[in-house]
């Protein structure tokens, strides 16, 4: 049996990405829009949401509503989303939104803001749940509904996919739809790469769980916005230096409405943007643009 993992990758000799304008680094900001699609008995689930909230990671509350968790999520859609969008748009930062279909369906005001921003909107699942044990037929139906929701509410079909809590079937289902340029359900490289799925070439744009404000959840290893800023700044500085040495890379930065959007944290995001924009030769881009560039510059063989 063929071992299903690739532990080798580019083996220390990655291709030169030839980013536009000879940029030394491509930086992809990603805003996860999930509020309204999380676990809840209101959504037909048997338990309440229990991760990525300021309540902390707890044992799931079975058979009832966790009002504290619900309120934490609501802050993200009511306040955090607007603060982050104002900052990104005000600084001229292009970005990608990972959008949960059910969350968009419940927030027409956010949809209007996203459309006005011109940001790329990629699929983040119809629900923000763990799909690992979800039956394949249900996951496929949710995937198609997520595509339909974004197409209808945003006006542009999605070209990227990211579940986050994917199943063993997710990537195959993504390829089977024929709707996507790429998926980002991987964390194993600093550059895009091609893989083969069901005999077809498929592009992967790795995402990041380390340059990610999810580490700010209560009980996480980031306690303050300064922790987030310092870590992401150091990552950027290292990758930028690699680009100066002729080895350009890509950096993904993950944001969540209800996490970095809090008053005690969002200043760290502002400082990070200032730091990045203070450097020459930075391509601040959405993920669709990265995929299109990679396909044109490094096509599958």
Count of all residues that appear for the chain in the document? 301
Backbone φ and ψ for 141, nearest 5 degrees, come out as -65, -40
Q: What is the pLDDT of residue 218?
A: 78
Return the CATH number of the domain spanning residue range 20-297: 3.20.20.370
State how far the alpha carbon of 25 is from the alpha carbons of 84, 120, 192, 252, in Å. 23, 19, 13, 11
pLDDT in tens, the chain (301 residues): 789 999 999 999 999 999 999 999 999 999 999 999 999 999 999 998 988 888 876 788 899 998 889 999 999 999 999 999 999 999 999 999 999 999 999 999 999 999 999 999 999 999 999 999 999 999 999 999 999 999 999 999 999 999 999 999 999 999 999 999 999 999 999 999 999 999 999 999 999 999 999 999 877 899 999 999 999 999 999 999 999 999 999 999 999 999 999 999 999 999 999 999 999 999 999 999 999 999 999 999 8
Write down the pTM of the prediction.
0.96
pLDDT of residue 25: 98
Model confidence over 231-246: pLDDT tens digits? 999 999 999 999 999 9
Which tokens in the block code for residue 163?
Answer: 């579940």
With left for phi above 0 and alpha for psi between -120 and 50, is residue 162 left, alpha or beta? Answer: beta
Ranges of each domain in the chain: 20-297
């Amino acid at each position: 049996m063929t071992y299903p993992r690739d532990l080798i990758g580019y083996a220390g000799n990655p291709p030169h990405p030839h980013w536009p304008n000879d940029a030394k680094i491509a930086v992809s900001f990603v805003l996860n829009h999930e509020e309204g699609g999380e676990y809840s008995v209101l959504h037909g689930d048997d338990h309440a949401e229990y991760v990525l909230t300021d309540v902390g990671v707890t044992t799931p509350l079975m058979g009832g509503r966790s009002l504290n968790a619900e309120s934490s999520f609501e802050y993200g859609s009511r306040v955090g989303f607007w603060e982050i969008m104002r900052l990104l748009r005000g600084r001229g930062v292009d970005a990608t939104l990972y959008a949960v279909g059910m969350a968009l369906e419940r927030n027409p005001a956010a949809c209007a803001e996203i459309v006005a921003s011109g940001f790329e909107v990629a699929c983040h699942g119809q629900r923000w749940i763990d799909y690992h044990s979800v039956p394949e037929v249900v996951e496929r139906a949710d995937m198609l509904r997520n595509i339909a929701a974004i197409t209808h509410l945003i006006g542009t079909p999605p070209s990227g996919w990211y579940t986050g809590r994917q199943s063993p079937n997710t990537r195959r289902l993504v390829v089977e739809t024929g709707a996507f340029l790429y998926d980002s359900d991987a964390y194993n490289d600093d550059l895009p790469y091609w893989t083969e799925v069901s005999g077809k070439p498929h592009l992967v744009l790795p995402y990041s769980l380390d340059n990610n404000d999810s580490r700010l959840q209560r009980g996480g290893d980031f306690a303050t916005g300064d922790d987030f800023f310092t870590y992401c700044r150091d990552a950027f500085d290292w990758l930028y230096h690699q680009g100066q040495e002729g080895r350009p890379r890509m950096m993904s930065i993950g944001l969540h409405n209800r996490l970095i959007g809090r008053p005690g944290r969002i200043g760290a995001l502002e400082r990070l943007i200032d730091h990045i924009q203070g450097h020459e030769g930075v391509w601040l881009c959405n993920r669709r643009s990265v995929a299109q560039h990679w396909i044109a510059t490094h096509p599958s063989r």
